Amino acid sequence: MELSQYVQKGFQMLADPGSFDSNTFTLLLRAAFQSLLDAQADEAVLDHPDLKHIDPVVLKHCHAAAATYILEAGKQRADKSTLSTYLEDCKFDSERIELFWTEYQNNRNSLEILLGSIGRSLPHITDVSWRLEYQIKTNQLDKMYRPAYLVTLNVENTDSRSHPEISFSCSMEQLQDLVGKLKDASKSLERATQL
Amino acid sequence: MLLDLSEEHKEHLAFLPKVDSAVVAEFGRIAVEFLRRGSNPKVYEGAARKLSVSSDTVQHGVEGLIYLLTESSKLMISELDFQDSVFVLGFPEELNKLLLQLYLDNRKEIRTILNELAPDLPSYHSLEWRLDVQLASRSLRQQIKPSVTIKLHLNQNGGHNTHVLQTDPASLLHLAQQLEQALEEVKTNHCRRVVRNIK
């Protein structure tokens, strides 16, 4: 994991029991996780009374360093030994490494979900609605008398957050074809998960 | 139900008994061809020359025939009703028989063509699918994220539309299940009763 001087410096400050005792260390760490994972989090995350005595510049530096490191570790799916190696290099004692690892484990799932959801993908089908109708006549044609379906796919776009819909009509035979293909895909999926 | 033919329409059709049945049969063929592919005015001119009449007369004759066939097909009138409708034109028996045959032979195809004039929603053509597993992205490595990529082919206004979409395994199963229920619905008592009674 390649991390900048800025991050390293921030961590070296965090490692120093003179600047951060155990309690403030944990608080800062938690603030970093909160900033990343809590959608409602804002600058107030560093407003804890126990952090007031620390120089705000130092606080921000360490907070930013921790957040950067957490994201990089999450992205690379770092294990305990990778984490320990880096933190040792930053002069963390074993107690702080344990604390860091515990906090990291607690938040790991949410972190990975967050990172996994970033990125472009194709429009995603979320739901389907259908309508069955019996066609009787049009202005061009009488006595039609046949059933027909109108199917609407609800689709979500990751980036634009728009929700376009795709609608189409189909006859019974066509719907049977569609359902057949979807069931083929499902069976294939089931088989793949059993490998 | 009888066809209601306007005076103008009757006038146009009045040309038909003046030519022999081979010509009427040919006009019938031209009429159906025009319904399939659109009209071609050059055909009128050629025929007009051969028959020594104005091309307008030929055009009216063919168009009269077209209208007769489309109206009959649209309403799906019975053989008897067709014969009675044509009877008022006072044509010879042989011509009446020819027209009836023309109607019966082409009715199904004409109805298919008329059906295409209905308000057009995109309609299903086919579907292709592919199973994928996402292994990594720029923001997260070492993933195992299954997904299904779908290419939906639709027809609209004669053209072809493709939508490339994606879904997750749970949604795929949900989709298949919902649409299967939709298919089952046609077999219920309620739907069967409607289909049986509205004819």
B191 near A CB under 8 A: yes
Is residue B119 pLDDT above 80, yes or no?
no
pLDDT digits (tens, 9 = 90+) for B13-29: 888 888 888 888 888 88
pLDDT digits (tens, 9 = 90+) for B154-194: 998 778 989 999 999 999 999 999 999 999 999 999 999 99
Chain A residue numbers touching B179 (CB-CB < 8 A):
128, 130, 151, 175, 178-179, 182
- Which DSSP helix (H) or strand (E) runs through B109? helix B93-115
- Which DSSP helix (H) or strand (E) runs through A192? helix A172-193
Chain A residue numbers touching B169 (CB-CB < 8 A):
189
- CB pair distance less than 8 Å for B137 and A193: no
Who contacts B36 (Cβ-Cβ below 8 Å, separation ≥6)? Answer: B109, B113
Contact A77/B142 with Cβ under 8 angstroms? Answer: yes
- Which DSSP helix (H) or strand (E) runs through B58? helix B55-75
pLDDT digits (tens, 9 = 90+) for B69-90: 998 998 888 999 999 888 888 8
β-strand partners of A167: A152
pLDDT digits (tens, 9 = 90+) for B106-116: 999 998 888 87
DSSP label of A91? T
Contact B127/B104 with Cβ under 8 angstroms? Answer: no
pLDDT one digit per residue (tens) for chain A, 195 residues: 778 999 999 999 888 888 888 888 998 999 999 999 988 877 777 888 888 888 889 889 999 999 999 999 999 999 999 999 999 988 898 889 999 999 999 999 999 999 998 888 889 999 999 999 998 888 888 888 889 999 999 998 876 667 788 999 999 999 999 999 999 999 999 898 886
Contact B103/B69 with Cβ under 8 angstroms? Answer: yes
Chain B residue numbers touching A109 (CB-CB < 8 A):
none
pLDDT at B147: 92
Taking the mean position of all CA atoms in its chain, how far away is CA B4? 23
Chain B residue numbers touching A75 (CB-CB < 8 A):
139-141
Query: Any idea which residue has 């728009």 for tokens?
Result: A162
Query: Any idea which residue has 């040792």 for tokens?
Result: A88
Is residue B118 pLDDT above 80, yes or no?
no
Neighbour tally for B20: CB within 10 Å:
10
Neighbour tally for B85: CB within 10 Å:
19
pLDDT at A160: 67
| Mean pLDDT, all residues of chain B | 88
How many pairs of residues across A and B have Cβ atoms under 8 Å apart? Answer: 163
> What residue type is B180 in one-letter code?
E
Q: Is B199 exposed, middle or buried (0-12, 13-18, 19+ CB in 10 A)?
A: exposed
Which among B148, B152, B191 has the least Cβ separation from residue A189?
A: B148
Which residue in B has a C-alpha nearest to residue A130's C-alpha? B182
C-alpha to C-alpha distances, A67 to A5, A36, A96, nearest whole angstrom: 14, 7, 16
- CB pair distance less than 8 Å for B183 and A151: no
Concatenating the DSSP letter of every residue in A155-191 gives: EE-TTT----EEEEEE-HHHHHHHHHHHHHHHHHHHH
Q: What is the reported pTM?
A: 0.72
Q: Pairing mode, if any, of strands A146-156 and B123-134? A: unpaired
* Chain B 67-126, residues with CB within 8 Å of chain A CB atoms: 74-76, 111, 114-115, 117-119, 121-124, 126
Chain A residue numbers touching B144 (CB-CB < 8 A):
none
pLDDT at B181: 95
pLDDT digits (tens, 9 = 90+) for B125-156: 999 999 999 999 999 999 999 999 999 999 98
